[in-house]
Structure 1
């Protein structure tokens, strides 16, 4: 059970895990509360159903649809993935249970750093999810910070564990040829600094701060160019254009949602995650797997993932963000490459998709072996 289907980090993490488990005989059915979003979502051949709930608002048609799906599929285990879908996963287990116990696991894919700013309905759902968590057989957290925050909030501490995101290093890896092809596509000199932020357009992702830092950076590096990639990051979005300083508009490339993220990431000199809050951001691990040094804000597990392979700054500090980008650009090229090499090695050694997927498989298997 997932809340939505799009190219966001949580959704992609789910599908990568399920795809990696095909050789083990896992037969998944993904049920999304909301309809498919975006044009570049890779279904990976996994069966998908949707409850078509508008803005994740429960209605009897959706409940009836969920019951029919569960009765048809007859799952051995139910896995929730994000707050809203965790709640409905309890209902899915109820529909699935006949004369045997159906194990239920839920997953928390975010931190609670800005919980007070969430919509009232979302806050109510999180309170409900916390209360229901005592009946879950497993609680999977994607980040250490998220586990601590949610336990303090009232989520059950029983059967809770952290399983970080995993990264497919056969997809995200260094590509020396990517830079030239991207520069040719954008009509840029192959020698100009390329700095990228990959995130959907959302206040939490802090594109405004990134653009402000970029405007400061070009005073030192006037030929720097900035790539913004993600749903909503397009020239036809007036909100985006309004926060791009006039003096750097010709150097900001709004590429919207793309299906070639590995290539675009590998083309960068520096990748940036400027978010105000995160749990375990995929973009950090993906850039590191491509051998790209990063500047990240100190939110969620970002600094722990980076582990010195770049620069860490406090959130909401545009000056520090700009200074950190400048510091990386000032490094001799061989030092920056060495930093990227260290980043790539860290992902391969500690966050491989195969190891993370196997962790889920072992936990699901242990639940299925338990007596009713």
Structure 2
């Protein structure tokens, strides 16, 4: 029997969101007869929530390093690098795979210093647009170029994101491969009709149009534009209701803005919901208003539930939402266009049904978690083989890698 490949997966914090779901599922579904996985995470913020309950449900027990987190601090980041280096020198993983920029800095630097054979980093999105000013953004781009040289492979979750990284010279195209998200979608694919769960919370019947947005309440998600669009939709369709599912640092400000806009009665702040399949079942439409995105899990889950989408044309969203086929795309920061997209779908139930059905069929074949685990396992074996380390059979090469 071949020895198992030891993989250390490093992630900045297990806050509620798509990347957290991703690292949990990958850690849980890599073949345990071939891989030994360790998930290392930092500290989430006080308003972010966490997904340790989901990790426990899948049998994943993360190693926690409190100094690894969201905030930028030179001394704290260097301390985190030293802590990770010590752990790697003791554990001797064959592969270190980092996710998100903060973990990518400390994790990749520590792995190189510790002599880890294979270093991989995944971009779930990037911080080059919409997060920082021009000087800090330029600094991050230069840092990512340096870290790209320390990496044996870089993964993106969409083709558009790969193209953007190549354009920004983060790494050459032959070092970047596209491995799309994989999720446990069975509960969403099983959705048939209304569940009544969310509608009961709001106090509306099954015939009232309900538009939802799912995600963290943080600036990059631009819920303010969503609320501005909601106000415009209400002018034409006063019966429509809007649900904001999620929580975060901007909740109070967004609630105040809804009140100022006169739509407090039409907007329901649902907070985090543990079981999302019944929530999507009660929606007529899923919206994304973000200024920047990777591949949003909420759209994947919405499509799997048979719900159409209206989303901003940013990041990897156009790889997922195909204009006029399974949803509509609008410019970011444009509440008029967003409102028009929402109105088009709620006024045309047949179009909504067609969009939702097409989205579901594509998601069913494209975003399964076993496909993701297989792609990653093959990549790890390929990269180790290039270093002369053959613990497992490599199989077919992953798309995008030579």
Q: For residue 386 of structure 2, what is the aligned residue in structure 1? A: 370
2:163 counterpart of 1:148: yes
Q: 1:83 aligned to 2:101?
A: yes
**How many Å separate the matches in 1 of 2:354 and 2:136?**
47
Task: Provide, for residues 267-300 of structure 1, a one-character-per-residue CA deviation record: whole Å limited to 9, x for no partner.
Answer: 2100000111112222211111111001011112
Relative distance call for 1:116 and 1:40 in structure 2 (3 A) is closer
Alignment of 1:209-220 (within 5 A): 209-220=225-236
1:80-118 CA-partner distances (Å, limit 9, x unpaired): 112221222223324543xxx611111112146616735
Hey, what's the Cα distance between the residues in 2 that align with 1:73 and 1:172? 38
**Does structure 2 retain, via aligned residues, the 8 Å contact 1:270–1:292?**
yes
Alignment partner of 1:190 out of 192, 199, 206: 206
**Secondary structure at the residue paired with 1:171?**
helix
| Secondary structure of 1:80's aligned partner | strand
**Distance of 1:7 and 1:336 partners within structure 2:** 28
User: How far is the alpha carbon of 1:255 from its aligned partner?
Assistant: 1.4
What does residue 331 of structure 2 align with?
Answer: 314
Distance 2:357 2:34 in 1: 35
Show the 5 A alignment for 1:90-129. Answer: 90-94=108-112, 96-97=114-115, 102-111=117-126, 114=129, 117=132, 124-129=139-144
Moved more, 34-43 or 116-125: 116-125
The aligned residue for residue 242 of structure 1 is: 256
Equivalence for 1:302: 317
2:370 is aligned to 354
Q: Is the Cα contact below 8 Å between 2:210 and 2:241 reproduced in 1? A: yes
CA distance in 2 between counterparts of 1:64 and 1:125 reads 21
What TM-score do the two structures reach when normalised by structure 1?
0.89
Instruction: Name the structure 2 match of 1:15.
Output: 24
What is the deviation of 1:253?
Answer: 0.9
Q: How far apart are 1:345 and its partner, in Å?
A: 0.1
Residues of 1 paired with 2:279 and 2:207: CA distance? 16
TM-score when scaled to structure 2? 0.83
Could you say if the C-alpha distance between residues 233 and 227 of structure 1 is closer, same or farther in structure 2, counting changes exceeding 3 Å?
Answer: farther
The reply to whether residue 226 of structure 1 matches residue 238 of structure 2 is: no
Matches of 1:211 and 1:8 in 2, distance apart?
Answer: 21
- Post-superposition Cα deviations, 1:190-246, rounded to whole Å, max 9, x if no partner, equal 211111001111121111111111111112221111110112288xx4211222144
Contact 1:272–1:296 (CA under 8 A) maintained in structure 2: yes
Residue 161 of structure 1: SS of its match in structure 2?
strand
Between 38-47 and 214-223, the greater mean CA deviation after superposition:
38-47
Partner of 1:38: 49
Unaligned residue ranges in structure 1 (runs of 5+): none
Offset at 1:119? Answer: 8.6
Whether 1:74 and 2:92 are equivalent positions in the alignment is yes
**Alpha-carbon shift at residue 363 of structure 1 (Å):** 0.3
The aligned counterpart of 2:308 is: 293
Residue of structure 1 in register with 2:215 after alignment: 199
Q: After TM superposition, give the deviation of residue 368 of structure 1 in Å.
A: 2.2
Q: Would you say 1:325 and 2:360 are equivalent positions?
A: no
Match of 2:298 in 1: 283
User: Is the 2:311–2:330 Cα contact (8 Å) retained in structure 1?
Assistant: yes
SS in 1 for 2:220: helix
Moved over 6 A (4+): none
Q: Describe the SS at the equivalent of 2:236.
A: coil
